[in-house]
Structure 1
Amino acid sequence: MTTNTDLRPFRIEISQAEVDDLKARLTNARWPATPPVDDWSRGVPVGYLRELAEYWANDYDWRAAEAALNEIPQFMTEINGQRIHFFHQRSASPDALPLILTHGWPGSPVEFQQMIGRLTDPAAYGGDPADAFHVVVPSLPGYGFSTPLGPGGFNLFGVAQMWAELMSLLGYERYAAHGTDAGSGVAGMLAMVDPAHVVGVHLAGVTAGTPFGEPLPLDGLSESDRARAERFNTMLDEGFGYLVLQSTRPQTLAYSLNDSPIGQLAWIVEKFAEWTDPIHPLPTDAVDRDQLLTNISLYWFTGSGASTAHAVYDGMRAWKAMVAQQAQGDSEGWGGHEVTGPPTGVAVFGAESAIRSLADPAGRIEHWNEYERGGHFAAMEVPDLLTADLQSFFKPLR
């Protein structure tokens, strides 16, 4: 693996011309006609999106968001021809355990913004100082400032190799890993590619089945597991259109995402509406509105709406090849893999669909907690619960 050992300090500095251009595009947007029923049944309602876009253009403060992000130490390096941007916040505790956090789509390192202080300085949040972590939060290839997508494209195994190299480059001999969504796949692979250094892997944002698989059987499931399975089956039937498009025709979609902030806004907001805790009627009730817009602004300013679509395309092709290869074997366990190596922990939040009896039939996962609150974006929705689960899982592994 080729690594540029030059770790360069980095600051986010979006030009005023780009900020003004965003506001102009939002203000001059060409809106579609409002359908007969302006609710979420056909996608993001026109009325809701217009209101959110107006806030983004007139009231949201990118400069304040940029300054807040720049308070977190950031760096840039290059691994295997891929530009890698990452946050790196060390704890003041000399015994802190290094922890690498990996986001998914449509997230970014912004997803973990509320958790960095909780993890590096737990005492400031009423926690145990012994639970402190040094925190590393990279941007996945093709996301945010880890653009453009490098010559190697995107696959979970390749990203895991990059993360192992990054942690070595930072001098961390023992470290913990957490991932959500696609990041959970990276974290799982990281335990395979660097088992001598990974002390444990913690996963969230995982699903009960595969996006192109068969509906889950409902017989024999507990009431709560049956509800999760039904939720997954509904998503399989109605909610994977975004994935089919990105994994088959990413370039066709790329033009809209790269040229229209309204298109980019709707593309991401729909997933926050569908995947956050359903107790909240609107996505901006489930997560902080400004944090959501900061995440989307990062996509817009870096042009990574287009490159993440290609990353999904590459990732799904690699995943399908892996599944085909596994089909020739007879392994069991999490995601079709036998669970071996470092201990694994899983946190399942209210709106998620992961089911232990299906994901871990042999009972090899050491730590499995289910919570009534939260959803797919737990770091933004319930950062307190996710932080506590990470602290609990990794406490005996320090």
Structure 2
Amino acid sequence: MVKPFRISIPQQEVDDLFLRLKQARWPSIFCEEPWALGTDHSFMKRLIDYWGSEYNWREQENWLNSFPQFIENVDGMNIHFVHVRGEGVSSQPLLITHGWPGSFMEMLKMVPYLTTPSLFGGNAKDAFDVIIPSIPGFAFSDKPTRPGVGSRHVAGLWAKLMERLGYERFFVQGGDIGAGISTWLSLMHPNRVMGLHLNFIPGSYKPPLSQETPPIRDEEQNFLNKVTDWMEREGAYGAVHKTKPETIAFALSDSPIGLASWIVEKFQAWSDCNGNIEASFSLDELLTNISIYWFTNTIASSIRIYAEGPKVPLSFSKEQQVIVKTGISIFPKELPMPPRSWVERGYNVTYWEHVNKGGHFAAMENPKLFAEQLHLFFHSVNAPSV
């Protein structure tokens, strides 16, 4: 049974956080270009000072609670989700899945553009019912207590959740880990998914290649080379998450400053901020996302999905491909994205758009622009064939 949910962090936990921030022990300063070796010392000092003084969790908590939230038990696991119904009588369901190190919170600024388009110059008939679940192990969903809760398993939970909410058919959207979950949904339930939108291609995606398929093109090989180079420079976090997530979890669960450093470096590196993270995110936005991880103590459970997902990797073949109409929006500062020819080997791509700004957290960086992409693609899916 679906139950309403409100975030209410006990004051003693807020006080404990402030005490830990005041007792920080800082690493030594090393003279190097800011962010070159990871999280910048001067930015972190300013961020933590703000967190412990000016940042107001209760204000942010009230903002989060302004969005209707619920808990539903699916297969013995409590799933937290935001569910905002669209204006008018013809709104269609849209299931949006976040990734790491984001949370349901990174999608919230985009919600009004999707649920009430008439307020922004659009048409009420284009409204969506927006459902944003928290992946198990993230935010206020249950933490998995056993192996096996990877992207495929979560996709199965999402299918059941949408059925419980009365949505037999629905649109899906995902980036980062959410892209893998959304892809699995489309593979497992092609008759229920009306359209699939991705702003990231799952890292585990390997298109079907055989003697019958065309040879790898130069643009595809260039992409594969870029991925190799990116993994050399940026992939250390992922290697830790996939192989020894429990080791780093002790440090990140015990230190709010360590947690903030681990998360904020990705927001800086993966956003369209030209080196200045505050060009894309306010300190309040960064800290609210980090605070959700801290108060729910979910950094350990969230990174375990990196180890669980590969146990059941996305499998594409001549017989198994995404037949659902698929839209891809490519943001300029996204992690390496494959060319269209590579994606079309496994997905039924009907929409392919290069967007002029944004990065890995595009819904949070440019909510209006991201929402416009969703409207454009899903409208094309609904458009009658000529």
TM-score exceeds 0.5: yes
- Aligned-residue Cα RMSD (Å) equals 2.4
Report the Cα distance in structure 1 between the residues aligned to 2:246 and 2:347, rounded to whole angstroms. 42
CA contact (8 A) 1:83 1:150 kept: no
Q: Residue 343 of structure 1 aligns to a residue in which SS?
A: strand
Paired residues, number: 372
2:253 corresponds, among 246, 251, 258, to: 258
Shift of 1:136: 0.4
What are the ranges of 5 or more consecutive residues in structure 2 without an aligned counterpart?
Answer: 207-214
Shift of 1:209: 7.8
- Amino acid of the residue matched to residue 330 of structure 2? V
What are the ranges of 5 or more consecutive residues in structure 1 without an aligned counterpart?
Answer: 1-5, 212-216
Q: Residue 58 of structure 1 aligns to a residue in which SS?
A: coil
Q: How does 1:1-398 map to 2 (within 5 A)?
A: 6-37=1-32, 39-151=34-146, 153-206=148-201, 220-221=218-219, 232-277=227-272, 279-319=273-313, 331=318, 338-340=321-323, 342-352=324-334, 353-354=336-337, 355-361=339-345, 364-398=348-382
Q: Residue 36 of structure 1 aligns to a residue in which SS?
A: coil
Q: Residue 29 of structure 2 aligns to a residue in which SS?
A: coil
CA contact (8 A) 1:82 1:150 kept: no
CA contact (8 A) 2:97 2:178 kept: yes
- Amino acid of the residue matched to residue 194 of structure 2? V
State percent identity of aligned pairs: 38
Report Cα offsets for 1:117-155 as digits up to 9, x if no partner.
111001112222221000000000100011322435421
Shift of 1:229: 6.5
Report the Cα distance in structure 2 between the residues aligned to 1:11 and 1:173, rounded to whole angstroms. 27
- Amino acid of the residue matched to residue 50 of structure 1? K
Report the Cα distance in structure 2 between the residues aligned to 1:63 and 1:363, rounded to whole angstroms. 43
Shift of 1:204: 0.9
CA contact (8 A) 1:208 1:232 kept: no
Report the Cα distance in structure 1 between the residues aligned to 2:49 and 2:225, rounded to whole angstroms. 36
Report the Cα distance in structure 1 between the residues aligned to 2:121 and 2:20, rounded to whole angstroms. 44
Distance 1:193 1:338, change over 3 A: closer
Report the Cα distance in structure 1 between the residues aligned to 2:161 and 2:16, rounded to whole angstroms. 35
- Amino acid of the residue matched to residue 251 of structure 1? E
Report the Cα distance in structure 2 between the residues aligned to 1:385 and 1:218, rounded to whole angstroms. 33
Q: Residue 50 of structure 1 aligns to a residue in which SS?
A: helix
Report Cα offsets for 1:87-129 as digits up to 9, x if no partner.
0011121100110000011111001010111110011122222
CA contact (8 A) 1:207 1:232 kept: no
- Which TM-score applies when normalising by structure 2? 0.90
CA contact (8 A) 1:208 1:358 kept: no
Shift of 1:26: 1.2
- Amino acid of the residue matched to residue 360 of structure 1? E
- Amino acid of the residue matched to residue 44 of structure 1? T
Distance 1:35 1:379, change over 3 A: same
CA contact (8 A) 2:84 2:129 kept: yes
